[in-house]
Structure 1
Amino acid sequence: MPPRSRSGEASGALKSDSASPGREQPRQRVIEAAIDLLTREGRDAVTTRAVADAAGLQPPAIYRLFGDKDGLLDAVAEHGFATFLAGKHVNPDPPDPIEDLRAGWDVAVEFGLANPALYTLMYADPTRTTSGAFKAGMEVLMGRIRRLAAGGWLRVDEELAAQIIHATARGAVLTWLSLREDRRDPALFTTLRESMVTAVTNQRPAVREAGAAGAARALRAALPEEATLSPAEQHLLTEWLDRLTADG
């Protein structure tokens, strides 16, 4: 089976936002109409005329609100990122940081499986990763990674860990969606998730086992909360720690 929902985090299906006054109300209607067409009939069905008809507007309204079809698709993708972010439950002090990492990975996969057409649109264009909601979601992930580093669990650099976690979740979903149903094996998810955990974390938070690089990563993660060092001292210490983690 695909990863099960944990702590009510998975979105399942997209929910409509409450209508806001003025310009946002027709804008939201258009986005929801586009998502409905995308979900039921695929990306080719999302034309400006079809979306305008479904939203009860004239086609010129689409151009006034979004500029062009690409602008509309960008808005739909941004809505998807925002919906996923709103459905996340973040524990700032999880009892088990590695299990928290697994849970977050599962939630990302579950969202993609529940919203396949939207998820594919969200990640079809690399430039969409510059959206505000996407960046906010990555900050949630970086928070998980920093907690792992501070506890001595992180095995690799924080940035590399984020790339591995994000790539394995996105790759798992897009690979699953690309396969015929008779070729889909749920072991794909658990195998990729556990491979990700093995790649980015230590089995035990033992600084001795991880060596100087592990100690440096743990200290590096705690630096933003350190108030006794001057900015210049923090900068110099960061350079030293980065060198140690690179050597490790």
Structure 2
Amino acid sequence: MPVDPNHAEPAATTREQTRRRIVGVAIELLERRGRDAVTTRAVADAAGLQPPALYRLFGDKEGLLDAVAEHGFARFLAAKHIDPDPQDPVGELRAAWDIAVEFGLANPALYALMYAEPARSTTVFQTGLDLLMKRIRRLAAAGLLRVGEDVAAQIVHATARGAVLTWLSLPEPQRDPALLRALREAMVTAVTTQEPAVQEQGPAGAARALRAALPEQDVLSDAEQRLLTEWLDRLST
């Protein structure tokens, strides 16, 4: 017998509402009492459910933690704004770094879960990484990138994560905002140049700028583009 969509939809809606409620309870436990407190029994009790309901929705505790991490990434992305044509791509990079660090300081336990375990790289995490790579690509296209695009993204991630974890590890009287500013500026110095790199001597800056612009062209064949990309990658380093 075919399923009546008028009856199926409420069930699906109720399931999603229950799932969101459980994730919210898990995040509250995580932030108040730490990761060890997020057990299936504790979450089920706090949500007014039996543990089998959690297993049906998330599979196991790790599936629940994956859902919590994904929710965290979604919240983080909701706080980010990307200008498709920024007048100051270096300033935009600074602002994006500040947003990432501020999110980590405001949500320490959730941030640790999201970023301390690479295995929790979700689809939403990949969306955030894609946004970062677009920022990096604009810097490269403007000739302002000092290092390769992948290394630049790694530096941005590493300095933001290091800033959050270091700040949270310090006793409150020792938390000086100058530390965050210094780390941010060290990141900017490591990743970008003060002047467009294509004005400097040597091929590296020009190679990075051309490498960034390649996806926008349609003159070369796929084979030609792959070969040129390989050459430019070598020149840029």
TM-score past 0.5 threshold:
yes
Q: SS at 2:200's partner residue?
A: helix
User: Which piece of structure 1 moves more, 134-143 or 114-123?
Assistant: 114-123
How much is the aligned-residue C-alpha RMSD, in angstroms?
1.3
Alpha-carbon contact 1:113-1:173 (below 8 Å) kept: yes
Alpha-carbon contact 2:145-2:197 (below 8 Å) kept: no
Alpha-carbon contact 2:142-2:209 (below 8 Å) kept: yes
How far did 1:210 drift? 5.6
Alignment partner, residue 29 of structure 1: 21
- Partner of residue 69 from structure 2, selected from 52, 71, 77: 77
* C-alpha distance in structure 2 between counterparts of 1:198 and 1:210, whole Å: 19
Q: SS at 1:23's partner residue?
A: helix
* C-alpha distance in structure 2 between counterparts of 1:29 and 1:128, whole Å: 20
1:218 aligns with 2:201: no
Q: SS at 1:79's partner residue?
A: helix
Alpha-carbon contact 1:202-1:210 (below 8 Å) kept: no
Q: SS at 1:51's partner residue?
A: helix
Contiguous gaps of at least 5 residues in structure 2:
1-11
Question: Would you say how many aligned residue pairs link Structure 1 and Structure 2?
Answer: 226
- Partner of residue 53 from structure 1, selected from 45, 56, 60: 45
Question: Which one-letter code corresponds to 2:73 in the other structure?
Answer: F
* C-alpha distance in structure 1 between counterparts of 2:191 and 2:174, whole Å: 29
1:153-172 equivalences in 2 (<5 Å): 153-172=144-163
Q: 1:67 to 1:73 in 2, by over 3 A?
A: same
How far did 1:206 drift? 4.1
Question: Which one-letter code corresponds to 2:21 in the other structure?
Answer: R
How far did 1:78 drift? 1.1
1:68 aligns with 2:63: no
* C-alpha distance in structure 2 between counterparts of 1:186 and 1:206, whole Å: 31
Alignment partner, residue 188 of structure 1: 179
| Deviations, residues 94-126 of structure 1 (Å, cap 9, x unaligned) | 010000000000000011011111111112212
Alignment partner, residue 3 of structure 1: none
Alignment partner, residue 89 of structure 1: 81
Q: SS at 1:21's partner residue?
A: helix
How far did 1:90 drift? 0.6
Alpha-carbon contact 2:148-2:236 (below 8 Å) kept: yes
Q: 1:73 to 1:210 in 2, by over 3 A?
A: farther
Contiguous gaps of at least 5 residues in structure 1:
1-19
| Deviations, residues 144-169 of structure 1 (Å, cap 9, x unaligned) | 00000000000000000000000000
* C-alpha distance in structure 2 between counterparts of 1:114 and 1:213, whole Å: 39
Question: Which one-letter code corresponds to 2:191 in the other structure?
Answer: V
Question: Which one-letter code corresponds to 1:37 in the other structure?
Answer: L
Greater relative contact order (Cα < 8 A, sep 6+): 1
* C-alpha distance in structure 1 between counterparts of 2:145 and 2:20, whole Å: 41
Higher Rg: 2
* C-alpha distance in structure 2 between counterparts of 1:98 and 1:124, whole Å: 27
* C-alpha distance in structure 1 between counterparts of 2:136 and 2:43, whole Å: 40
* C-alpha distance in structure 2 between counterparts of 1:113 and 1:40, whole Å: 15
How far did 1:211 drift? 2.5
Alpha-carbon contact 1:155-1:210 (below 8 Å) kept: no
Give the share of equivalent positions with the same residue, in percent: 73
User: Which piece of structure 1 moves more, 61-70 or 148-157?
Assistant: 61-70
* C-alpha distance in structure 2 between counterparts of 1:210 and 1:142, whole Å: 26
